[in-house]
Amino acid sequence: MAPDTRPHVPATEEQGSEPSDLVAGEDLALARRARAQLAEVAPEPGVPKPDPLLVADGVRKSFGGLVAVDTRHLEIQRGTITALIGPNGAGKTTLFNVLTGFDRRSEGTWQFADQDISRMAPHRVAQRGMVRTFQMTKALTRMTVMENMRLAATGQTGEHLLSALLPGTWRAQERENTERAQALLERFDLAAKADQFAGELSGGQRKLLEMARALMVRPRMIMLDEPMAGVNPALTQTLLGHVTDLRDEGLSVVFVEHDMDVVMGISDWVVCLAEGQVIAEGPPEAISDNRAVIDAYLGARQDLDEHGPEGVR
Amino acid sequence: MDLIEILSFAFRSAVGPLAITFALAAIGLNIHYGYTGLLNIGQVAFVMVGAYGLAITVDVFGGSHVLGALVGLGLAALLAVLLAVPTLRLRADYLAITTISVGEVLRLATRSSQAAPLTRGADGIAGLGGPFYALNPIPPGDYGFWIFQLGSERRVWLMLVGWGLIALMCLLVWALMRSPWGRVLRAIREDEEAARSLGKNVFSYKMQALVLGGVIGGLAGVYYAIQAAGVAPDTFDPRITFYAYVILILGGPGRVLGPVLGALIFYALFQGADVLLRQGAAGGWLPLVEWFGSQAIGATRLALVGLVLMLLMIFRPQGILGDRREMSLGA
Ligand SMILES: Nc1ncnc2c1ncn2[C@@H]1O[C@H](COP(=O)(O)OP(=O)(O)OP(=O)(O)O)[C@@H](O)[C@H]1O
Ligand SMILES: [Mg+2]
């Protein structure tokens, strides 16, 4: 691990690793231990982890003749930031879709927090604490930023048809959710936009909103599909700060990213996918000079090459 | 040109029983299309099932009107569930294709001779509404003043109940749509995948929306059967759904009062134009009939209404009550 290469974000410094009730109440000690344990894990594809939150076996998804995903065994360690890299078309988004239930016509089994969630309906996967965002941002454009946030809170009494007619049964809960949403919006620099339509936000702000909104679900694992795509460098640093903060609060983060500086900077573990298969995984240092990874990228793009054999400048 | 006659006729139609029927049907459609984004192109099927539920219960089984109304609403709910199960999990177009055909299938089945023991075939069922008028507390007379003519005590009673139902349904929609439940519906309208990713059971909410809007469509049917004192299959043609959409889009989809305002304006325009054209034809200053034959008045009226709608869509694409800022975010 290389904590010194992690981007330094003063604005969020004071939150540091203090437990916060904004996100899920994960066991911090457990999460920290799990992260430390990664150091002893061998950097080999499909290697078992000491404390996995997600375990997937034989996940396979094909579109007609094209096999988009075919991973033999994959584990994601609790309390860590895991980067999922790979050239365009490697199957990263498809893997997200399969694991989160958005694509139910697939093979394989996978457990989340020791429960089998293979081919479970996507909303139930989310309710269990595995929440994903989309590569193509899905802001609910004709709803305000605050409505987007409130919507995402789980276990709302007012979402039942009959209780909906009795505001007394949901007002207090709505107030609590609004407070939490407000706090999250402040954290993500969106508080000033709370009453605007989400469709009026810029692309980068929508990325921020999507991440904040996913947190309203109180996930245990958040899966971000290219959260930094199309975001300016300053905002990227802010986003990265948020991601590390979430990890420090006990959340498990999986994110897809093409920018190697970002990947090397913040991830605890990197999984490299090529043509649907996990060709390499390990801590960032081990990945950056991995022959298979470099070959895979050279085959498709010159990404790693630009950064020299070490991957990081 | 007798402006008083045109205005009084326009008013009479705008607040009359047919406008009420359409307002109710469009309120149901607003829940489907305006709030949830469900493309139901067969609202007429729900109206028809409501109307025939009442008519058959009363006529064939000798039940009371109250029971008949409940049967009508229950059948509308059942129809919604039957439509929802096979289609709502599929892409949006499947609901559209299914609903567009189910209305016609129902109409043809109802008028067929095999169904005649139940539905009396193409002639339909007459003699409804007696017990409804028996409850009328309004003393006999002719009501209204100047251009605001309402008609007989029977008509006033019909309108009183009709507008009461509209008020009640609007209150229901308002209460639901400001709740977290309504927020989920709007989220589904915007992007159902996003709603799913946030843990919402999209299928269940679409089902609830389809049933609720369908039952309100059924209520429109029950009301229609009573005001027309009977039902006949051929009144329930696809045009009913088309007009309901026109009304909804005119008033502003996704607005509580959109369908009501839409129905008022639609009927005022539709009937006002009719009187205007007839006056013109009779007075000789608009020789439509001489030029185009006896069908000309009806056709010109439709063209006029179409023109007004076109202008509205150009200058207020979001409907009269809609929010332009919101509309521009459509993508
Ligand atoms: N709906 C689909 N139908 C057919 N083929 C698809 C579909 N979705 C993805 N694929 C194919 O599956 C493969 C993996 O696609 P996927 O979107 O998972 O790649 P990715 O790793 O996310 O790429 P990127 O980095 O460009 O986002 C690609 O070859 C793509 O063409
Ligand atoms: Mg992708």
Give the per-residue pLDDT at B236.
93
Q: Which domain holds residue B133?
A: 3-237
Task: Return the best residue to mutate from A59, A92, A105 for the ligand 1 pocket (most ligand atoms within 8 A of CB).
Answer: A92
ipTM of predicted complex: 0.86
Is the distance from the beta carbon of residue A90 to the nearest atom of ligand 1 less than 6 Å? yes
Spell out the residues 6+ positions from residue A41 whose beta carbon is closer than 8 angstroms to its own. A47, A49, A50, A77, A282
Q: Which amino acid is at B58?
A: V
Give the per-residue pLDDT at A73.
93
B180 vs A contacts (CB less than 8 Å): 150-151, 156-159, 164, 170, 174
**Phi, psi for residue A141 in degrees, rounded to 5:** -65, -35
* CB A252 within 8 Å of CB A220: yes
pLDDT above 50: residue B164: yes
Nearest Cα of chain A lies from the Cα of B192 at a distance, in angstroms, of 9
The beta-carbon neighbor of B193 closest among A138, A142, A199 is: A138
CA A60 – ligand 1 centroid, Å: 13
- Is A102's CB within 8 Å of B181's CB? no
* Residues in a beta bridge with A62: A67
Check residue A89 and give left, alpha or beta (phi > 0: left; psi -120 to 50: alpha): left
Is the distance from the beta carbon of residue A86 to the nearest atom of ligand 1 less than 6 Å? yes
The DSSP line for B11-25 is: HHHHTSHHHHHHHHH
CATH code of domain A28-139+219-299: 3.40.50.300
Cα separation, B285 vs B189, whole angstroms = 50
The DSSP line for chain A is: --GGGSPP-GGGGGGTT---TTS----HHHHHHHHHHGGGS---TT---SSEEEEEEEEEEEETTEEEEEEEEEEEETT-EEEEE-STTSSHHHHHHHHTTS--S-EEEEEETTEE-TT--HHHHHHTTEEE--SS----TTSBHHHHHHHH-SS-GGGSHHHHT-GGGTHHHHHHHHHHHHHHHHHTT-GGGTTSBGGGS-HHHHHHHHHHHHHHT--SEEEEESTTTT--HHHHHHHHHHHHHHHHTT-EEEEE---HHHHHHH-SEEEEEETTEEEEEE-HHHHHT-HHHHHHHHHH-SHHHHTTTTS--
Spell out the residues 6+ positions from residue A91 whose beta carbon is closer than 8 angstroms to its own. A61, A68, A69, A273, A275, A276
Where do the DSSP E strands lie in chain B?
125-126, 142-145, 148-152, 230-231
Residue B291 CB burial class (10 angstroms; 0-12, 13-18, ≥19): exposed
Q: What is the pLDDT of residues B75-121, one digit of tens each?
A: 999 999 999 998 888 777 889 989 989 999 999 999 888 888 888 88
- Is B190's CB within 8 Å of A143's CB? yes
* Interface probe, candidates B89, B183, B210, B211, chain A, greatest A C-beta count within 10 A: B183
Angle A207-A212-A217 from CA coordinates, rounded to 5°: 130
Consecutive sets of 10 residues in chain A, 313 residues long: mean pLDDT of each? 41 40 68 83 86 92 90 92 92 94 90 91 94 91 95 94 94 95 92 93 90 94 90 85 89 92 90 91 86 73 47 39
Q: What is the rounded average pLDDT of the residues B56-85?
A: 94
Q: Which residue has the higher pLDDT, B68 or A204?
A: B68
- Is B329's CB within 8 Å of A141's CB? yes
Task: Kindly give the pairing relationship between strand B230-231 and strand B148-152.
Answer: unpaired
* CB A304 within 8 Å of CB A261: no
Give the per-residue pLDDT at A18.
41
Share of chain B above pLDDT 70, in %: 98
Q: Can you give the residue ranges of every domain in chain A?
A: 28-139+219-299, 143-200
Is the distance from the beta carbon of residue A89 to the nearest atom of ligand 1 less than 6 Å? yes
Give the per-residue pLDDT at B83.
93
Angle B29-B329-B249 from CA coordinates, rounded to 5°: 30
Q: What is the pLDDT of residues B204-238, one digit of tens each?
A: 999 999 999 999 999 999 999 999 999 999 999 89
- Chain B residue with CA closest to A126: the answer is B199
- Is A143's CB within 8 Å of B186's CB? yes
Cα separation, B245 vs A181, whole angstroms = 37
- Proximal ligand: closest to the CA of A89: 1
Q: What is the pLDDT of residues B243-290, one digit of tens each?
A: 999 999 989 899 999 999 999 998 888 888 888 888 877 777 777 777
Is the distance from the beta carbon of residue A237 to the nearest atom of ligand 1 less than 6 Å? no
Please state the domain count of chain B.
Answer: 1
The beta-carbon neighbor of B191 closest among A138, A147, A150 is: A138
Give the per-residue pLDDT at A286.
85
CA A71 – ligand 1 centroid, Å: 15
* CB A35 within 8 Å of CB A80: yes
The DSSP line for B140-172 is: SSEEEETTEEEEEHHHHHHHHHHHHHHHHHHHH
CA A65, distance to chain mean position in Å, is 29
Protein residue with its CA nearest to atom 18 in ligand 1: A91
Protein residue with its CA nearest to atom 24 in ligand 1: A88
- Is A140's CB within 8 Å of B331's CB? no
Q: Which amino acid is at A256?
A: V
* Residues in a beta bridge with A52: A77
CB of A77 within 8 Å of any CB in chain B?
A: no
- Name the token pair of A84: 């999922």
State the pTM of this model: 0.89
CA distances from A127 to A76, A165, B84, B300 (A): 19, 24, 24, 57
Nearest Cα of chain A lies from the Cα of B184 at a distance, in angstroms, of 7
- Name the token pair of B331: 């993508």
